[in-house]
Structure 1
Amino acid sequence: MKFATFLMLTTSALARPSKPVSSWPGWSGIEQMFVFGDSYTTTGFNASTGPQPSPGNPLGNPKYPGYTSSNGPNWVDYLTVKYNDSLVLTYSLAYGGATVDAALVAQYLPTVLSLKEQVQTEFLPLYGTQQLASWKPDATLFAIFIGINDVGNSYAGTASGNTTIYDAVLSEYTSLVNQLYDSGARNFVFLNVPPVDRSPLTASSGPAAQALEASRIALFNSRIATLAANLAHADKQNAVFLYDTHTLFEEVLDNPQQFPQTAPYRNTTDYCLDYENGTAAMDTLNASCVYPVNEYFWLNSLHPTYPMHDLLSSKVAEELRGGRCM
């Protein structure tokens, strides 16, 4: 099965009726999950050297919640142990700083594993062959949350209006999804890019930079929607979900009190320098900061704290539980 990258859609891929698909067992029927992405998703899992996920340790290594960017559990942790409807063994192959392909959009360090490497050097040889874990296509979910660094590391170079870099990136993204499909993957959930144009990192560059990054995020997200829709339409056996991370983040940044998980937030625009590298406790209050760390949306210039991840995970689970695939 191969699918085209840029099919024109006549309706929004985010406002869609659910379709019956034979491969989707329901969220309660998922037994394993392979997750790909960047620092918003990584738990520090080492596929080669650490313990593999097991019923007594569903995320494998390192010790829960792992090495996250949220000063606590991230959405993958919560989806595995809090919002799961069954025992789910989760293999998080995500890597902080990842882009889709470092040859297209450079990463901050050459040692970072891009999505391409996560798929081709981690998943396919170790799990695609079922060498380290046995998994069933109809009881396994593949989750991909990528694009923050692709846009963040490239948008300034598109100020002239030339956005062909995103054609290349999404073409490679599509190829990698095809490779997962060819290995047996049939159940997918894609998360689009959140509004990191509102992060302190981009805000520090001024309104023009924020507007440019916002426009490139919108473009990138439209391409993710197209990718997901094409995958869903290419094979009726595919169960494809697209979660609108962007809208959820916007809602929280505008009014965090509307959700129980994020109601404690008191600051959604800035962060406290003494918290930026994490704290010993999830609710640490440093005398130099106005609020405890968990009352700031931003832990540092780019990463949200764990309450946002808690909410995101609950909403992804709600989507999966409802079976609202494309």
Structure 2
Amino acid sequence: MCSLLCPDLFLLKTLAGSQKVETKPRIAFGDSYTYVQGTHGHQNYSFIGDQFNYAYDAQTLPSDMIVQNQTATAEGGPNWIEYLTNCGVQPGITSPLSCKKQLWDFAFAGADISTEYTPLHHNFTVSLVNQITQFKEYGHATISHILPATDTLIATWIGINDVGDSSKYPVHFPTFYKNLTSTLFTSIDGLYTLGYRSYLLLDLPPLDRTPGNRATSTPHPNATQVDWYNDALRSGAELFAKRRDVEVRVFDAHARLNGIMDHPGQYGMVNMTGFCAGYDQPDIELNYEDYGCPVPLDEYFWFNSRHLTSHVHRILAEELDEWLQG
């Protein structure tokens, strides 16, 4: 169990003529921790399309806009990938094309890695495997005219739903997570064949410390399950990094987020154990006390039962940005 003790992984090889990783545009895949709302997306779930609206033409993707408002992410405000790129952070709509570090975000809220292991949350959900397949079939041809693959960072944060949905399965979890992450990297390998060489992955947050899990003596998932998945992710990254001319980075989000929870005062936060019941009300920013919340949302760690506040995402993005520049 080394999630708190293992260093971040820098599995790097020098790429001739490559941009510094911190300056590269981002293509993102994942779940609700990463999804951004798009004008061509499924409301509250995606930037573009869904499982029933899977295909799109060469004009649709470049015309898509990132929406920023209270309901445009799962955090009530910008999330880590928006803060990291400074793309789509301002209220309103933003074209990724207008950003200095472009963000093309194909994450789908509620996604797991593959239906081979866990069922879809909704019949319109696009799994991680299908996000990448969709991108290969419809997105890459368009994006490749905008961003050279060799100068683009692929950012992926996935596994949160997988570990939660499967936490009570009657399986040998280290083997199960090894198979899960093997499928993840097999899917990512499809991006490698398209010429993408720079990859960033984030490990799991401390899901054993969600408000619901804190309230029980038998959390699902528990800390051991989270550690096992994170170990499997690192092992998979090490194998993937053996490919020619590839950069693979695994950021220890788990350790950073535990650090915030253990030292909240350093980050201007007060409540690490619960969330504001009125988090989704339109006037919550100004009138939080009307909903029985003693402090503003920015002073909570948890936005709701499973998601982090936008403030926590900003802190995480700042630490990630500093790490990428290190």
- TM class by shorter-chain length? 0.7 to 0.9
Please give the per-residue CA displacement for 1:90-122, whole angstroms capped at 9, x wherever unaligned.
11111111110023112322221110111012x
Q: For residue 149 of structure 2, what is the aligned residue in structure 1?
A: 137
2:16 is equivalent to residue 22 of structure 1: yes
Distance 1:22-1:201 versus aligned 2 partners, 3 A rule: farther
1:209: how far off? Answer: 2.1
User: Over aligned residues, Cα RMSD in angstroms?
Assistant: 2.7
Change (3 A) 1:129 1:270: same
Q: What is the rounded CA distance, in whole Å, between the counterparts of 1:249 and 1:219 in structure 2?
A: 17
Identify the residue that residue 152 of structure 1 maps to in structure 2: 164
Give the direction of change, closer, same or farther, for the CA distance of 1:284–1:318 in structure 2 (3 Å limit): farther
Q: CA, structure 1 residues 180+70, in 2 after alignment: closer, same or farther (shift >3 Å)?
A: same
2:246 and 2:9 map into 1 onto residues whose CA distance is 18
* Candidates 67, 72, 76, aligned match of 1:71: 76
The code of the aligned residue for 1:125 comes to: E
Cα–Cα, structure 1 residues 176 and 306, in superposed 2: closer, same or farther, change >3 Å? same
Distance 1:155 1:215 in 2: 11
- Specify which of 250, 259, 262 is matched with residue 251 of structure 1: 259
Residue identity opposite 2:258 in structure 1: E
Q: Tell me the distance in 1 between the aligned counterparts of 2:152 and 2:144.
A: 15
Q: Equivalent residue for 2:94? A: none
* Count of residues in Structure 1 that have an aligned counterpart in Structure 2: 294
Q: Which amino acid is 1:33 matched to?
A: R
Moved more, 130-139 or 96-105: 130-139
1:228 to 234, 237, 249: 237
SS at match of 1:157: coil
Q: Tell me which residue corresponds to 2:85.
A: 80
Which letter does structure 2 place at the counterpart of 1:215?
T
Q: 1:181 to 1:16 in 2, by over 3 A?
A: closer
TM score, norm. by length of structure 1: 0.81
Q: Which runs of 5+ in 2 are unaligned?
A: 42-47, 49-55, 90-98
SS at match of 2:188: helix
Aligned to 1:238: 246
Q: Residue 250 of structure 2 aligns to which amino acid in structure 1?
A: L
CA distance in structure 2 between the partners assigned to 1:16 and 1:33 by the alignment: 18
Structure 1 residue 301 corresponds to structure 2 residue 305: yes
When the two structures are superposed, what TM-score results if normalisation uses the length of structure 2?
Answer: 0.81
Structure 1 residues 299 and 278, CA, compared in 2 at 3 Å: closer, same or farther? farther
Mapped contact 2:76–2:303 kept (Cα < 8 A): yes
Q: Which residues of structure 1 form unaligned runs of 5+?
A: 1-10, 55-59
Deviations 1:190-230 (A, max 9, x none): 000110110013234x12225x5211111111111112222
Residue identity (%): 26
Letter in 2 for 1:194: P
Contact persistence 2:11–2:241 (CA under 8 A): no
